[in-house]
Amino acid sequence: MDVDITQAVLSREEVARYLRGGPGLTPDQAHERISAYLEELRTTQRYSVYRALKHPLYPILRKIVRHPEFVELAQAATRSHRVVYASNHKSHIDYLVELLVLDDHGIRPPVIAAGINLFNGAMGLLNRHVTGAIPIRRDSRDPAYLATLRAYVAELVQRHDLFLYLEGGRSYSGEFKSLKTGLLQAVVQARRPDAVIVPVAIAYDLVLEDQALARQGMKRRQRRFTGEVAEMVRFAVGYESRAFVTFGQPIPLETVDPDSRRDLVTLTRHTREAIGKLYKVLPTALLAAALRPSMPRQNLVDRIDELLDALRSVNANLGVESGYQAVEQATGPLVARGVIVVEGERYRVRERHVLRYYARSLTHLLKARAGSNKTS
């Protein structure tokens, strides 16, 4: 970590207050605690190394076909602005796929904010010393940590583009979760007039760790990362998927008052709405949302056509035009994944919780339609 950013963080008012002695702490104890947090946040980005090693390190990425949409919006934004990307979070491989899309198009690499659970073992070495990710204690309530983190992010914005996952972790249910305001508040408090939020949505035909996420959603608790990695490796056998990475119009921050809670809430809502509209509606999600425990193929096609009509009414980013097309494209992957069974012309659910996981990825769009119907 550069000396200048360390000193800048220690000089920010919210940190300086704790250095004078936090609740129940002497100044020396407060300084020791904040110094430890700063050391934890220290990161080094060696993106040229990451680019050179990406295929040997991540053979699974060769099975994911990247489909960028409107990437020119990100290219234009980086030419004249400090860019903070805000994305939904589906998988542990999101930040690998999304950063590679940026690299494919010659866009300067941002610093990623990632959960501290990704900083153990080999993955931790890679994140801390190659990709330049910063570890986030998502559940911390320590005022000293929160002040240090906000100050550190605010100073990073002065020096780097950032890539944030504002849901605060992957969605176990499959739904697009509400966004947390902490990191966004830190970005706004950087008071950089040229800063913009670039909304990004990532969608997969199949999420690599879908089985693990669906089970965690039932248990309402997070598994150890090492256990998840082992399961991801097991499910990587035969795995193939498209990944759609869709960029949106930049959201300027120059008119956002850093001291206004109302402005922050409005910005958060605007960002979430933008990401939600960008999300690519893929055949697997449509089939999952339409299928009942056992259905004839034609009934399934008809139900998907009804869903598509509903989604068109909210200008959803559709990946198919018809129920027939969705069934044709989704059947093979979901059968191979063991999620559904097809017997002649009849479709049956095999893994109900996994199917629900994919179906819920459309919940935010269908809720938007229900809301528009109430106001019309």
E strands, the chain, are: 64-69, 82-87, 111-115, 134-136, 162-165, 195-204, 241-247, 251-252, 280-281, 294-296, 317-318, 340-343, 346-349
Spell out the SS3 assignment of 232-259: HHHHCCCCCEEEEEEECCCEECCCCCCC
* Per-residue model confidence as pLDDT tens digits over 42-75: 877 666 666 665 655 566 777 889 999 999 999 9
* Other residues' Cβ atoms within 10 Å of the Cβ of residue 331: 18
350: amino acid identity, one letter: R
Q: State which amino acid sits at residue 247.
A: F
- Structural domains present in the chain: 3-38 (no CATH), 44-278 (3.40.1130.10), 282-375 (1.10.10.10)
CB 230 within 8 A of CB 172: no
Backbone phi and psi for residue 24, each to the nearest 5 degrees, phi listed first: 75, 10
Instruction: Tell me the HSE value of 85 on the side-chain side, using a 13 A CA sphere.
Output: 32
86 pairs with which residues across the strands?
164, 199
Task: Output 257-266 pairs: Cβ under 8 A, ≥24 positions apart.
Answer: 258/188, 258/189, 258/191, 263/188, 264/181, 264/184, 264/185, 264/188, 265/181
- 188-233 tens-digit pLDDT: 999 999 999 999 999 999 999 898 888 876 555 555 555 556 566 6
Residue 87 corresponds to which tokens in the numbers above?
Answer: 């994305």
Residue 19 and residue 27 in contact, taking contact as beta carbons nearer than 8 Å: yes
- Look up residue 108 and give its DSSP letter: P
CA neighbor of 87 nearest in space, from 102, 106, 65: 102
What confidence tens digit (pLDDT) does each residue in 246-290 have?
999 999 999 999 999 999 999 999 999 999 999 999 999 999 999
In the three-class reduction of DSSP (H, G, I as helix; E, B as strand; rest coil), residue 106 is classed as coil
pTM assigned to the model: 0.90
Q: Give the model's pLDDT for residue 233.
A: 61
